[in-house]
Amino acid sequence: MALNRAWHESHPMPPNANLDQRIAWHLEHARECGCRAIPASVLKALEERRIPIPERRVS
């Protein structure tokens, strides 16, 4: 998967992001870029919160 450079430049991960911020960022990243998989720690939090795990975007 190619990097969506424009998205990454306009959507940096907040410094010292808490878990809620990380979850929100990775969910949006999966929709808009998906150049890499969601980290295991975020996947675990999504499962615990019963938030559907998005498929990685394929372009």
Q: What's the structural domain count of the chain?
A: 1
Q: Which tokens go with 49?
A: 């919160």
Distances (CA, A) of 44 to 4, 6, 9, 40, 47: 25, 28, 27, 6, 5
**Structural contact between residues 48 and 22, judged by C-beta atoms closer than 8 angstroms:** no
| Whether this model's pTM surpasses 0.95 | no
Kindly report, residue by residue over 37-54, the tens digit of the pLDDT: 999 999 999 999 999 988
**Structural contact between residues 42 and 26, judged by C-beta atoms closer than 8 angstroms:** yes
Q: Which residues form the domain of 52?
A: 1-11+18-59
Confidence of residue 27 (pLDDT cuts 50, 70, 90): very high
Full DSSP string of 17-59: --HHHHHHHHHHHHHHT-SSPPPHHHHHHHHHTTPPPPPPP--
